[in-house]
Chains A and B, each alone.
Chain A
Amino acid sequence: MDRGGPVERIHGLLVHLVLGGVLPRGRREGIQEVFGALWRRTPVGIPRLRLAVREGWGLIRLRWTLGRSARAGETRMTWEDGMDEVWRSLVLGIRGMARRPVVALAAVVTLGLGIGGTTAVYSMADGVLFDPLPFPDADELVLVNQTGEDGRQSLLSYLNFRDLQAETRTLESLALWTGLSVSVTGLGEPERIRGEFVSASYFDVLGMEVSLGRALAPGEDVPGGARTAVLAHRYWERRFGSDPEVVGRTIELNNRAHIIVGVMPPAFRSFWDDTEAWISLHSAPRTLDRTSRSFFGIGRLADGVDRETSLRELDGIMARLAEASPEMEPGAGANVRDLTRWVVGDDRRTLVVSLLGAIAMVLLIATANVAGLQLARSSTRGQEMAIRSALGSGRRRLIVQLLVENVAVAAVGGLLGLGIAALAVRAAAATFPGFQSFDIALHPPAILVAAGVTIGVGLLAGLWPALRASEVRPGAGLRDAGRGGSSGIGTARFRSVLLVGQMALAVTLLVGAGLLVRTVSALNSVDVGFDAEGLLTGETRLTAEAYAEDADRMDYLDQVLRSLEAIPGTSGATLVAGMPFSGDGGRTPVRAEGSSLSWDEASTAFTPIVAPGYTAFMGIELLRGREFERTDDPGSGFVAVASQGLAERIYPGEDPVGRMLETPEGTARIVGVVGDVRQSLVGDPEPMFYLSYRQVPPSLFSVLIRTHGPPETYERALKEAFWRADSNQPLWEIMPLEDRMASYAGVQRFTSSLLGTFALLALLLTGVGMYGVVAHTVNLRRRELGIRLAMGAERGTLRRMVLGQGLRLAIVGGVLGLGAALALVRGLRSLIFGVSAADPLTYALAIAGVAAVALLACWVPAVRATRVDPTTALRE
């Protein structure tokens, strides 16, 4: 019979799949035949498409109506009957589980871990990826940048912001924002807090309201306007003891009085985690002209406007501004980006996506395991099913029974999973500082996901076993009593397939985790060029009016240093502007004396300003010459200490000591060469040269003391010593230098520990699954093994046979897993450092791990196989 083209064949298949069992074969063939005739006579193109869609929909509707009338005709089952049946199945199921508590427990724990992990990771994904900004309608928020002629993006200048704000129609509102640290004085201990200088429209754009007082008002964000501030709830509690009368009081920010006009609600978080005050824009220590581009623009799209439209409009406005005002660079434009994407960043995106992938794998393994457990049970339950079906239980009833049981097991596992998830989420939010700005918690959607996953897993794990078990023919099942016949072997084969899949997933996870563990260890073993042990650091920025003269500042720095050196229990102190891992410090072009290179062609060097004795204090290697001494002061010529990297670049093959280095600001004589020091963990160390604070006194710098014992216990002593020199200067970000360094690889550490956990979990679950399958087959083959033993087979041979079975599965799974891993680790590449994404050692170890677990899991059944007593086995 001619079955026609592919569409007709697919149609035929669908007809039998969808209508099989509800419509007699003859009618189904009729549908196929008529459809074929119609199809052939329908013109190619839209009419055929229309026919296909109508027919597809018709099939589904027919299935629905026929199914309904069939059910109604068959048993006239009511809703109450249905509930009754579910309830009865549940009771039977619980009784069954009580008889085999270990199997039920294994299933519950497996599912608990799987569902818990999924829910926890989903919660993180929800907080980080899907809804990272805690503002109403956050998807309407955009980041507005200025662009230059070459398309380079820069921040927005104040005057351009004003013009954009006045002209835009595509944005409902536009705000200006910049985050800077701010000195607070006149409230007891001087301190530095995180402040945000914002336009009055800021709170409107974000859609947030104050909980006390009012927000900044228009007119308070323009030069000459009142200086006002809104406090964070946290800061209001900490510094004002939640005083409800705080509104109207003044606070001294950067040595200028500001009126406190409001307090934000506790839940409000902005782009910085720990912002403590929002301050009138015009108090920002930046000039408010067109060329000083130092602000972020944040806009909210007007109703029905998309980002592209807004981009075109703002770009046009900016281009007109550039033509009209001579001080702007020609060719300027605007860029409008999705704020959420900008805040989340690619690293976190990669991270969460790979975690979602990982957890999906663990969940699959868990599901496969539970399905495996159910299959094992159902093959031994063949007898029970056979009896029940002989007693007249319908096929449907048997299936319902098995599904209800599985969903019940999954529900208990789901409850356990929610508990695990709650703990995991709390631990993740607390442990990993980079995630604190996101709202990570178990929200209703996450719980819904958990519930959905639970039911899905229950059905999935139960469906196949249920269909198989319900296929038993009463006679065959009863005859097979107690042994499980060929259907048992078929089941075991299916479980082997599941197991190969699990092995593959476990290998994939192990490879991912392995690569990240090696990344973290590579990051940990990076030679930073100095000794960070026991260093406690703090940062300060001198208030604007204090120590304006270089000589005064130098004296002050001398005093600070003397005071810090006197702290008992420490071995010295130093100060530095541009401390490693602080993110502070400047760079300048630099070239050799008499070099013909232009400044554009010259090398760029990082230029920390340090105290005499800094090199020795930090444990940086002194390679040539000397380091700074107290006698290098304003009275002598400028001197510099070059890093090895810089020396090799500007004076290759020569001794640089005694030579000059030139920068656009002036020249300095090189007195020494020291080893390279890293400013961050990734990339190569930068070339640098050091200057002495006794010649170039900085106003933003870090203080360091080297302590004996835990550095954080010296915080009080450090503050007191620092304020002995001047109690009006703020000191902040007091923390051990090692903590600062650790936070640099936070994403890698976070991922590697989570992926590591998942990988171990996967390995464990796979081991359990493996044990189950092998033990089950050994059980089924008892007679065969008995016969072999009776025929004189060596026990060692039998053991090898069973072990070989497990090992074969592990190898097939391992090879599949390697392929999957090679394809999937691409996604992790941006997180990997110091190790190749195709690192053979990691892959080999992953395979070895899975093989070892497989052998371990097979060992007990293998030994049991050799203990089969031939006579009993044969008599059974």
Chain B
Amino acid sequence: MPHDDALPLSVPVYQILVELAGAPLHGYALIEEIRDRTGGEVDLTPSTLYGALHRMLGQKWILEEAETASDAGGPRRRIYAITETGREVARAEARRLHRAASQAVAVRLLDASGLEPRNP
């Protein structure tokens, strides 16, 4: 596994990578999308988000692109997109999480659908 030394990822980093794996997004949309997808479980604050983005840019897991402003005079918004390395890392983390979940199923802590078994 090439990216094992980066694991485990922090919750914000993992969620951002997962989100960007779908489509490039700007900061505000990232917060909204992650909150909606996780049902409010992961709700990033702007500083947490940009702290994470800053580290991920440093690791070259994501790229920063300037979106052309739709309305003239408005600030140029920055769009973030995932790199191939980013995908690899996210995949590695997802595999790790999956392995962890499978082990719980093996000892009948959970059933295969991820729910608690009815009669243990």
Residues of A within 8 A of B (CB): 1, 15, 19, 23-24, 26-35, 37-38, 51, 54-55, 58-59, 61-62, 65-66, 69
Q: Which of B31-88 contact A (CB under 8 A)?
A: 31, 45-51, 53-55, 64, 75, 77-78
Report the 4 A-B pairs with minimum CB-CB distance, sorted nearest first.
A58-B45, A58-B47, A62-B51, A35-B46
Cβ contacts A to B, 12 pairs, < 8 Å:
A19-B47, A23-B50, A23-B54, A28-B50, A31-B46, A31-B49, A34-B46, A55-B46, A58-B45, A61-B48, A61-B51, A62-B50
CB distance from A38 to the nearest CB of B (A): 7
- Looking at the assembled complex, report how far the CB atom of A29 sits from the nearest CB atom of chain B, in whole angstroms: 8
**Is B27 among interface residues, defined by CB-CB distance under 8 A?**
yes
19 A-B pairs besides A33-B77, A58-B46, A62-B51 with CB distance below 8 A are: A15-B47, A23-B51, A23-B54, A26-B64, A27-B50, A27-B53, A31-B47, A33-B27, A33-B75, A34-B27, A34-B46, A38-B31, A51-B45, A55-B46, A55-B47, A58-B47, A59-B47, A61-B51, A62-B48
Pairwise interchain contact B75-A38, C-beta atoms closer than 8 A: no
Flag if A62 contacts B75 (CB, 8 Å): no
- Residues in chain B near residue A34, CB distance under 8 A: 27-28, 31, 46, 49-50
Bound CA–CA A811/B19 (angstroms): 66
- CB distance B54 to A66 under 8 Å? yes
B97 to chain A, nearest CB (A): 23
**Cα separation A27 to B62 with both chains bound (whole Å):** 14
Inter-chain CA distance A27–B48, complex, in Å, is 11
B interface bracket (residues with beta carbon within 8 Å of A): 10 to 19
Does the CB pair B46–A27 fall under 8 Å? no
A31 to B75, CA, bound (A): 13
Taking CB atoms, residues of chain A closer than 8 Å to B77 are 33
Q: How far is the CB of B5 from the nearest CB of chain A, in Å?
A: 16
> Which A residues lie within 8 Å of B53 (CB)?
27, 30
Given A26-B78, A33-B27, answer yes or no on A38-B46 (Cβ-Cβ < 8 Å). Answer: yes
B79 to chain A, nearest CB (A): 11
Asked if B28 contacts A38 (CB within 8 A), the reply is yes
CB distance from A678 to the nearest CB of B (A): 71
Q: Is there an interface contact between A54 and B54, defined as CB atoms closer than 8 Å? A: no
* Minimum distance in angstroms from A375 CB to a CB of chain B: 36
Q: Is the CB of A1 within 8 A of B45?
A: no
Q: Is the CB of A65 within 8 A of B51?
A: yes
Prevailing SS type, chain A contact patch: helix
Against A, the Cβ 8 Å flags (1 = close, 0 = not) of B20-34 are: 000000011001000
Contact partners of A27 in chain B: CB under 8 A: 50, 53-54
- Chain B residues at the A interface, C-beta cutoff of 8 Å: 27-28, 31, 45-51, 53-55, 64, 75, 77-78
Known: A27-B50, A30-B27, A30-B53. A54 touches B78 (CB 8 A): no
**For B28, what are the chain A residues with a Cβ–Cβ distance below 8 Å?**
33-34, 37-38
A448 to chain B, nearest CB (A): 36
Residues of B within 8 A of A32 (CB): 46
Cα(A34)–Cα(B77), bound, Å: 10
Contacts of B54 in A (CB 8 A): 23-24, 27, 66
CB A698 to nearest CB in B, in angstroms, measures 82
Most buried by B among A19, A31, A65: A31
Q: How far is the CB of B73 from chain A (nearest CB, A)?
A: 9
Residues of A within 8 A of B45 (CB): 35, 51, 54-55, 58
Q: Does the CB pair B27–A58 fall under 8 Å?
A: no
Name the B residues within 8 Å of A51 (CB-CB): 45
| Residue of chain A at shortest CB distance from B52 | A62
- Complex CA–CA separation, A19 to B51 (angstroms): 10
* Interface core residue of A23, A27, A55 (most chain B CB under 10 Å): A27
Beta-carbon contact of B75 and A58 below 8 Å: no
Greatest chain A CB density within 10 A among B51, B64, B78 is at B51
Shortest CB distance A849–B (Å): 53
Cβ contact of B50, chosen from A1, A30, A54, A65, cutoff 8 A: A30
CB of A605, distance to nearest CB on chain B (Å)? 77
Residues on B with C-beta less than 8 A from A31 are 27, 46-47, 49-50
User: Considering residues B28, B50, B55, B78, which has the most beta carbons from chain A within 10 angstroms of its beta carbon?
Assistant: B50
Give A474 to B12 CA distance when docked, in angstroms: 43
Chain B residues with CB under 8 A of A65: 51
CA distance A672 to B29 in the complex (A): 101
- In the complex, which residues of chain B have a beta carbon less than 8 angstroms from the beta carbon of A54? 45
Closest to B43 in A: A54
A30 touches B48 (CB 8 A): no
CA distance in complex: A634, B64 (Å) = 114
Residues in B neighbouring A58, C-beta threshold 8 A: 45-48, 51
Query: Shortest distance in angstroms between B113's beta carbon and chain A's nearest beta carbon?
Result: 33
Which of B31, B46, B48, B78 has the largest number of chain A CB atoms within 10 A? B46
* Assembly CA distance A32 to B47 (angstroms): 9
**Complex: how many Å from CA A833 to CA B90?**
80
Chain B residues with CB under 8 A of A35: 45-47
Complex Cα distance, B55 from A61, in Å, reads 14
Complex Cα distance, B46 from A33, in Å, reads 9
Cα distance A58–B43 in the bound complex, in angstroms: 12
Contacts of A62 in B (CB 8 A): 47-48, 50-51
Q: Point out the residues of chain A lying under 8 angstroms from B64, CB to CB.
A: 26
CA distance A688 to B27 in the complex (A): 88
Distance between B115 CB and nearest chain A CB, rounded to angstroms: 31
Chain B residues near A33: list those with CB within 8 A. Answer: 27-28, 75, 77
Question: Which of A19, A24, A28, A35 has the most B CB atoms < 10 Å from its CB?
Answer: A35
- Find the B residue at minimum CB distance from A39: B46
Cβ distance B40 to chain A, nearest Cβ, rounded Å: 12
In angstroms, Cα B58 to Cα A69, docked, is 12
Q: Roughly how many angstroms separate A37 CA and B53 CA in the complex, as a whole number?
A: 18
Q: CA–CA, A62 to B10, complex, Å?
A: 14
Q: How far is the CA of A65 from the CA of B46 in the complex (A)?
A: 15
Rounded to whole Å, the gap between the CB of A10 and the closest CB of chain B is: 14
Interface hub of A30, A62, A66, A69 (most chain B Cβ within 10 A): A30
Per the bound structure, the CA–CA distance linking A30 and B77 in Å amounts to 8
Q: How far is the CA of A59 from the CA of B48 in the complex (A)?
A: 7
Tell me the complex Cα distance, A35–B45, Å.
8
Taking a contact as CB atoms closer than 8 A, the residue among A19, A30, A61 that contacts B78 in the complex is A30
B51 / chain A contacts, CB cutoff of 8 Å: 23, 58, 61-62, 65-66
**Could you tell me the distance in whole angstroms from the C-beta of B10 to the nearest C-beta in chain A?**
10
A55: chain B residues at CB < 8 Å are 45-47
Interface centre among B46, B47, B77 (most CB of A within 10 A): B47
In the bound complex, CA of A28 to CA of B54 (Å): 10
Please measure, in the bound complex, the distance between the C-alpha atom of A54 and the C-alpha atom of B54, giving whole angstroms.
19
Residues of A within 8 Å of B31, CB to CB, are: 34, 38
